[in-house]
Homo-oligomer: A and B are copies of this chain.
Amino acid sequence: MNKKGLAILMRTRMRPTDSTKLTLSPLTNEVNQMAQNSQPNRSSPRVSQFQGNKNLNASSNTEREFELVRESMHSAISMNKTEVLDSVLNDFSEGYSSLDHENRQRLLLLLAKEYDLNRAQVRELIKQYLGLEVPSGLGENAESSTGVEDEALLSAFYRIERNLRHALKPVYEVLFERLNTHPGGLKVLTVLRADILSILAEENIASLRALDSYLKEKLGTWLSPAALELHQITWDDPASLLEKIVAYEAVHPISNLIDLKRRLGVGRRCFGYLHPAIPGEPLIFIEVALLKDVAQSIQEVLWDDPPIPECEATCALFYSISSTQPGLSGINLGKFLIKRVITLVKREMTHISKFATLSPIPGFMQWLLSKLASQSKLAEAEYVSLSSVDSSGSAFWENILEPEEEKALMDLSEGVATGKNGMEVMLNLLNSANYEWTNSSELLSALRSPLIRLCARYLLQEKKRGKALDSVANFHLQNGAMVERINWMADRSEKGLRQSGGLMVNYVYRLENIEEYAQSYFSKGHINASADLHRLVKLKEQGERTD
């Protein structure tokens, strides 16, 4: 290939739509974005392409293919352990990847239902189990009984309990176990799970949910974080690996290999977690920028040329963490990642002393808009029914704005903003088409204070089951970070405005506090934050108390 051809190739967009190179990939390219709660893209190009093909082919052809895959699946499950399985497992893996969306769904449902557990056997074993005599002092955790007779009786318990435990495993576990020990099989399992998840997103089917829960449990135990290898990704890595980075970067999309080259060049680092059973494809990767100081906007970070020589850098900024396997959703692979990267960078560059992130706040706007909508509606209702000036009498209603914020929003010039109260004005502004509010200095200045303050509240106080509501916040807090600073207009991209109102947050990792912070977050749900952020949150609390 000549130089020009190569240049064109390098500039070609390599986003997920170009999935022909990924020989085995889930049908819907629903990238598992740690940073986003995005909805699966159900009308992905790949699916429609498949549907197109199907119409061209005779449907009997497809049916025959389906039957072949079904047969190989059956063989893979029912063959005797001692027979040679490798070719059967290969047949199944290849066959499955060639199936279209509809037939994958058929096959997975069939797997979930027809290879479920053997309930007759379970009942038989239960009968045997209930027939056993309980040895003396063997209720739960017997401490005293160690007699020889008890040991003999225990043997019977152990045997039937073991059999019952095995009988309670669905028959499809055999397929999972065999694929796990087969080269390339773990990858097939992640694709199966990605497909199951995308079907479940459309329809909640109990047997498929059971299949998913079982497979998730298995994948979790097979993909031990202790077995993951930290690998520094560089421009010297194979293109087949690099294209995965381009395809899966979920936070700040990379448009082509040229773009990627900058992210691997001077002043940047990229590290990936690789599992030996899924070679050449990092399961999760993290991008680092070496900077003079903790960056306040993503524009500074993604700037083409590094502003300073590496030796002058004092801060390593983690600006993007992406996982590549939609099928591993819900399985914590990031454990140790940050800590190991920090250790590595520190060893290589002793002049780096600050470790921080510049992170999106993916759930912020969703939370804020629904809060504004419900509260401004409540405010109206209260106003109509009670005509009460002191609406704080209602347990449900809360003006989430400070008095001066309310005033600033209500004082905005006519026509620009409408609403019966500050919250409704804010809601309408934030919902305006094309984020018009970002083009007016008047609107920006009225929104700045409430957006930053409410973002602090969202990050520090909004929780779900004792953990931070925001998924990225939860990730960093459980790794032992603290919330340092909220940055105004830090990401003006469409996605940045839609998800976080343009805000970004710096989480800071201090090596001396990582363990302590992680522990207090885990055990008490305590969120460590800078004095500035605490002040923002307390302002409102004090205001309420003096009301």
Contacts and interface: CB of A to CB of B under 8 A. Distances in A.
B118 A180 contact: no
Interface stretch (A150-158, A368-376, A442-450): A150-158
A228 B82 contact: no
A277 B228 CA distance: 8
A130 B126 contact: yes
Interface in A32-57: none
A266 B143 CA distance: 60
Contacts of A80: 523
A443 to B, nearest CB: 42
23 contacts: A82-B522, A82-B523, A84-B515, A113-B143, A114-B141, A119-B139, A119-B157, A141-B171, A152-B206, A154-B207, A158-B207, A162-B210, A177-B221, A180-B221, A183-B226, A186-B224, A186-B227, A221-B221, A222-B224, A227-B227, A227-B276, A228-B276, A276-B276
A188 B351 CA distance: 37
A202 to B, nearest CB: 15
Contacts of A292: none
Given A120-B139, A130-B126, A276 B207 contact: no
Contacts of A9: none
- The 6 A-B pairs of least Cβ separation, nearest first, read A158-B210, A165-B168, A155-B206, A227-B277, A84-B519, A181-B224
Interface string A174-199: 00010011111110000000000000
Interface string A117-132: 1111011001001100
A157 B206 CA distance: 10
A213 interface: yes
Given A139-B120, A336-B183, A522-B83, A213 B115 contact: no
Given A222-B224, A275-B227, A115 B130 contact: no
Interface in A97-146: 113-120, 122-123, 126, 129-130, 134, 138-143, 146
Contacts of A226: 180-186, 276-277
Copy number in this complex? 2
Nearest to A467: B82
A518 interface: yes
A171 B158 CA distance: 14
Contact of A116 (B118, B141, B335): B141
A221 B224 CA distance: 12
A113 B184 CA distance: 39
A185 B155 CA distance: 29
A65 interface: no
Nearest to A130: B126
Contacts of A336: 183
A171 B129 CA distance: 19
A206 B151 contact: yes
A205 interface: yes
A518 B84 contact: yes
A547 B297 CA distance: 96
Interface in A381-399: none
Interface in A63-83: 80, 82-83
Contacts of A206: 151-152, 154-155, 158
Given A151-B206, A158-B206, 17 more contacts: A80-B523, A82-B522, A83-B519, A83-B523, A84-B515, A84-B518, A113-B142, A114-B141, A116-B142, A118-B140, A120-B140, A154-B207, A154-B210, A158-B209, A162-B210, A222-B224, A226-B276
A161 interface: yes
A129 B182 CA distance: 35
A280 interface: no
A229 interface: yes
Interface in A262-307: 275-277
Nearest to A204: B151
Interface string A232-244: 0000000000000
A225 interface: yes
Given A126-B130, A154-B207, A210-B158, A181 B225 contact: yes
